[in-house]
Copies of this chain bind each other. A is one copy, B any other.
């Protein structure tokens, strides 16, 4: 089951690998024979994950500590991977902040621009350049339903997720006649540690958990569709939601639907 390594190369990098979807992606490519580079803020947790992955999947791992909200954070990342045979890049990191646009500190907005736009674009640009040159590689960027509806009281997050979605869709088309596979996966509620922390208790929480997807199902569906689809909304339920918003609702109605969750 070394298919990913054979197809794309020795090493894969996951930006935002500590837990949840990023962690599951790291495990998936390790299962496919690739060595993993785990990038995030919590170095100790990443080292534990790396050791676990090495043991379970018989691959190598590296950990790079990086704060994606700092504008020069990519320097150390690119330096650390420059002599490796790179074949996979996944940008999972994201930052949100609840509140009206103008009530959120500018400093927080800058951090969101860095995590959701600039560091994302730098990583995409850098590894896409390498993959295009060697005509081999896989890009997997993560977007969210909030980028489809827009996201009142979390406006920058939703707008950043729309940016990631539209940029990756375009580059997916640009790379179509090459051996570089490019996908953006748009996720709805996915059961991860950080998502669980934000759920209410009692019946409402139970209902939310019942409607959400597991990370395992999410990752399996993504990897089943690589090479077939550039822009994938993951999960039948989420695809039906997008269809409903885009065919039966105006953009204002879709925004209101999402906005009411935070009121």
B-contacting residues of A (Cβ < 8 Å)? 100-102, 106, 109, 113, 117-118, 121, 124-125, 128-129, 132, 147, 150-156, 158-167, 169-174, 229-231, 246-247, 250-252, 255-256, 259
With A230-B252, A246-B246 known as contacts, the answer to whether A100 contacts B163 (CB < 8 A) is no
Interchain CB contact under 8 A, B100 and A174? yes
- A54–B169 CA distance with the chains assembled, in angstroms: 45
Judge whether A169 and B251 touch: CB under 8 Å: yes
Q: In the bound complex, what is the Cα–Cα distance between A165 and B152 (angstroms)?
A: 12
* A147 to B169 Cα, complex, angstroms: 11
Q: How far is the CA of A155 from the CA of B230 in the complex (A)?
A: 14
**Which listed residue (B150, B153, B166) contacts A151, Cβ 8 A?**
B166
* Cα-based distance from A167 to B154 in the complex (angstroms): 9
Q: Which listed residue (B164, B173, B259) contacts A256, Cβ 8 A?
A: B173
Copies of this protein chain in the complex? 2
On chain B, the residues within 8 Å of A152 by CB distance are 170-171, 173-174
Are A159 and B170 in contact, with the CB atoms below 8 A? yes
Q: Considering the complex, give the chain B residue whose CB is closest to the CB of A230.
A: B252
Contacts of A118 in B (CB 8 A): 113
Q: How far is the CA of A250 from the CA of B242 in the complex (A)?
A: 11
CA distance A224 to B150 in the complex (A): 24
- Check A150–B121 contact: CB distance below 8 A: no
Also in contact, A255 and B150, with CB within 8 A (given A102-B129, A163-B160):
no
Q: How far is the CA of A132 from the CA of B244 in the complex (A)?
A: 33
- Inter-subunit contact B117/A174 (CB<8 Å): no
Contact A174–B162 (Cβ < 8 Å)? no
| Given A162-B165, A166-B150, A251-B231, A173-B128 contact (CB < 8 Å) | no
A172 interface neighbour in B151, B160, B247, B252, Cβ under 8 Å: B252
Q: Are A128 and B101 in contact, with the CB atoms below 8 A?
A: yes
List B contacts of A167 (CB < 8 A).
101, 150, 155-156, 158-159
Other-chain contact of A171, B109, B155, B160, B166 (Cβ < 8 Å):
B155
